[in-house]
Structure 1
Amino acid sequence: MRAIVIGGGVAGATAALALRRIGARVNVYEAYEDPAGDVGSFVSLAANGLRCLDSLGCLDAVRDAGVEVDRQRMWSAGGRLLGDVARGRRESDTLRSVTLMRGRLVAALREAAAGSGARIVTGERLVRIAETPEGVTAEFAGGARDTADVLVAADGIWSTVRGQLDPAAPAPRYAGLYCVSGASRMDGVEPGVFNMTFGRNGAFIHVTAGGEVWWSAQIADPAEPDRDGVGDAQWLARAAASYREEAVPSAVIAATTRLHPTVLMHVADPVPTWHGEHTVLIGDAAHPVGAGQGASMAIEDALALAAALRSESSVAAALRAYDADRRPRITRVLGTAEDNRGAKRAGPVRRRLRAAMMRIFVPMFYERATAWLYAYEPARLAQ
């Protein structure tokens, strides 16, 4: 089987690795020269994503690139503890959530994909795909062409392929949140704990990593900010102003030594068309989920797709099986993600009500309510 993968990020690199496991010949095309470069901030992988990486043989490399995080603590704007739970796992899971810079995750996965025999080409931007009964052809801006039995679109929330599969596909839109992130130097932050404060103007996350404190200020703003001409000092000032009334977030922001690129958060309505006869969307190209599950869901997708291609009699049948397998789970995760975004955008009355409910809900029901997410077991692919 010949496979083209569009996108060399988390979804694309994992798809290449999984497809190599079933014996496919894989070419990966990435528009950027360095897809592991300075894009975004840190990401987290939950137990469900880590099990997938374990089945692909690259769990240790990803662990080495980040830090393990054992607990998640949720705090009110006034500093009251709302819940203390296992981070990204069931209490009984031996796997611990891993937090790492996005670039280091992409680099580890891309190295594993290349080591497995996948060919990775950077600086090639897709402009058109064309399906025939025999396969699919991809055309690139520089004039290159490639043909394959299956094309895997792992080209993110701004996917080119999604619109070519379905011109009526929903377009991404601003989610009412943007993230100013950075690293600080300070004492007194307990290692191994992912802290989330539900502040007056959004949610604030901080966690220790390699002698630093990584933080992300998710700021609620109904008006999409203009990033043109806005420098680090201005973004830092906006974050400080948004969390000036929250003691711990204010202290973390004040100790900042460097900033990561500011990110505007986007969402999209459910994408009705995930595949053609020889073309399929995975990861954010099909379902930008958020909720700390974006990377893990993309990794799950890659294994599920490879398993379907291994098991079914034709590519078209495999893509239908993949859709039927993944869509119910993704739909449920999307509902959770929207609830999380709503909590971060909540006004003062709703925020206080939610805090009161969390103090009751988290100790009694959190483990049971999230077990379906973290207990996922991926298909095992042949070496």
Structure 2
Amino acid sequence: MRAVVVGGGVAGAAGAIALRRIGAEVTVHEAYGEPAGPVGSFVSLAANGLRALAVLGCLPQVRAAGFALPWQRMWSSAGRSLGEVARGRARGDEMVSVTLMRADLVAALRAEAVRLGARIVTGSRFDAARVRACLDGDGVDLIVGADGMWSGVREVLDPEAPRPVYGGMYSVSGISHVDGLGVDVGTFNMIFARRGAFLYLGAPDGSVWWSAQVSGPCPVDVHAVGIDDLIDIYRTEERAVEILRATRRIHGATLHHVLARVPRHHGDRLVLIGDAAHPVGAGQGASMALEDAIALAQHLHAEGVVASPVVASPVERALDGYERQRRARVDKMVREATRNRDVKTAGPIARRMRNVIMPVVFPRVYEGATSWLHGYDPGSLPAWTPGSLPARPPGSPPARTSSSSPAPTLGTPRA
């Protein structure tokens, strides 16, 4: 099977790994000159995302590039504790949440994809017209749309699909060095501020990574938002102001967009993964993209379409199975993300109610309420050894996988 992956970010690089693991020939097209690049801020991977990385063979590399965050603390605007829980996991789960720069996550995934024989072409933009031309050409069996929220592949798949709209928030992230404030290493902190939320965490090198998530009814030029502007926005949150004043650099300014439910995630030779299909937010975008990549490869492998991609019905069955498996889970995650966003943008009455109820309820219900998310087991992919997946020369017949290849295990909830 010849697969073209459009987009070389988290979803695209993970998709390339998973497809190579089942024997597909994979070319990734990335619009930017450097797939990792200085794009985005830091990302956190909860237990479900880490288990997906283990399946893809990248967990040690990602852990080495980031640092562990075992705990999460929530704070009111006035600095009152609203509760502490295990971060992104059940309390006894060994998969302790990891935070790292998005570029480092992409770099680790890309390196593994290349090691497995995937080809990554940078500076290669795939707009809707190029997707159509690729479909009309000869030799491509599958196009994987991993090109994010503004996906050109989604436009080709369904011209009537919803378009992203501003979601009422924007974020600016940065790194500070704050002495004497007692910012614990290994703890993720979230302040429910009067205008959105302020996230901060202590890194092992003594720096403080932060992200200001500001609620606002209208889009702004995020690149024009400076430290003085943020200090004024968070003037009632003392800890946020102290961290902002110690900022050494700003990065990752972005508007938050939302996307209505995408009706179709696949066609006969087109399939969407990651934010192209479901930009979930709530810190789960990367993890959901990793899960998608594994599930897609599992269904293609189970139907045998890597060996015989010219047979249409198994491809359609594989893509149908992929969408059925993922749809309910990502729809539930999108609903959770909406509630998460609503909590951050709550009005004064809702904030007061939250500050009273949360210290009592949050520590008691968090683990049980999120077990469906963090306890997910992504299953397995066939093992890979050097030389087991030879790339075929251009124009040669489709490569056939060995019938002795171990069958993958499809993802299921662990709990």
Shorter-chain TM-score range? over 0.9
1:243 pairs, out of 186, 209, 234, with 234
State the alpha-carbon separation in 2 of the partners of residues 211 and 57 from structure 1. 30
Q: 1:226 to 1:159 in 2, by over 3 A?
A: same
CA contact (8 A) 2:131 2:156 kept: no
- The alpha carbon displacement at 1:260 in A equals 0.5
Q: Given residue 213 of structure 2, which amino acid in structure 1 is its aligned partner?
A: Q
Runs of 4+ aligned structure 1 residues displaced above 2 Å come to 127-131, 136-139
- The alpha carbon displacement at 1:138 in A equals 5.1
1:215 pairs, out of 210, 216, 224, with 210
**Aligned: 1:171 with 2:163:** yes
State the alpha-carbon separation in 2 of the partners of residues 123 and 59 from structure 1. 28
Q: Given residue 52 of structure 1, which amino acid in structure 2 is its aligned partner?
A: A
Q: 2:143 maps to which residue? A: 151
- The alpha carbon displacement at 1:211 in A equals 2.4
**Aligned: 1:288 with 2:282:** no
TM-score by length of 2: 0.87
**Aligned: 1:199 with 2:196:** no
- The alpha carbon displacement at 1:357 in A equals 2.0
SS at match of 2:85: strand
Q: Given residue 196 of structure 2, which amino acid in structure 1 is its aligned partner?
A: G
CA contact (8 A) 1:184 1:258 kept: yes
- The alpha carbon displacement at 1:208 in A equals 1.4
Q: How many residues align?
A: 370
Q: 2:248 maps to which residue? A: 257
Q: 2:37 maps to which residue? A: 37
- The alpha carbon displacement at 1:252 in A equals 0.6
Greater shift, 190-199 or 342-351, is seen at 342-351
Q: 2:71 maps to which residue? A: 71
Superposed CA deviations along residues 286-316 of structure 1, whole A, max 9, x for unmatched, are 0000011000000000000000100125211
Q: In structure 1, list runs of 5 or more residues that go unmatched.
A: 140-144
CA contact (8 A) 1:129 1:164 kept: no
Superposed CA deviations along residues 28-47 of structure 1, whole A, max 9, x for unmatched, are 00111112111121111110
Greater shift, 296-305 or 218-227, is seen at 218-227
- The alpha carbon displacement at 1:111 in A equals 0.7
- The alpha carbon displacement at 1:130 in A equals 6.2
**Aligned: 1:103 with 2:103:** yes
Correspondence list, 1:1-383, <5 A: 1-127=1-127, 128=129, 137=134, 147-187=139-179, 188-209=182-203, 210-227=205-222, 230-231=223-224, 234-313=225-304, 314-383=314-383
SS at match of 2:299: helix
CA contact (8 A) 1:4 1:26 kept: yes
CA contact (8 A) 1:126 1:138 kept: no
Q: Given residue 355 of structure 2, which amino acid in structure 1 is its aligned partner?
A: A
More strand by share: 1
Q: Which has the larger radius of gyration?
A: 2
Q: 1:244 to 1:120 in 2, by over 3 A?
A: same
Q: 2:396 maps to which residue? A: none
Q: Given residue 323 of structure 1, which amino acid in structure 2 is its aligned partner?
A: E
State the alpha-carbon separation in 2 of the partners of residues 147 and 235 from structure 1. 50
- The alpha carbon displacement at 1:355 in A equals 2.1
- The alpha carbon displacement at 1:247 in A equals 1.2
State the alpha-carbon separation in 1 of the partners of residues 138 and 171 from structure 2. 37
State the alpha-carbon separation in 2 of the partners of residues 269 and 30 from structure 1. 25
CA contact (8 A) 1:44 1:98 kept: yes
State the alpha-carbon separation in 2 of the partners of residues 317 and 96 from structure 1. 36
Q: 1:142 maps to which residue? A: none
- The alpha carbon displacement at 1:49 in A equals 0.7
CA contact (8 A) 2:131 2:153 kept: no
State the alpha-carbon separation in 2 of the partners of residues 130 and 74 from structure 1. 45
Q: Given residue 199 of structure 2, which amino acid in structure 1 is its aligned partner?
A: I
State the alpha-carbon separation in 2 of the partners of residues 303 and 154 from structure 1. 13
Q: Given residue 189 of structure 1, which amino acid in structure 2 is its aligned partner?
A: V
Greater shift, 117-126 or 203-212, is seen at 203-212
State the alpha-carbon separation in 1 of the partners of residues 154 and 323 from structure 2. 15
Q: Given residue 162 of structure 2, which amino acid in structure 1 is its aligned partner?
A: P
SS at match of 1:11: helix
Superposed CA deviations along residues 141-167 of structure 1, whole A, max 9, x for unmatched, are xxxx77421111000001001111111
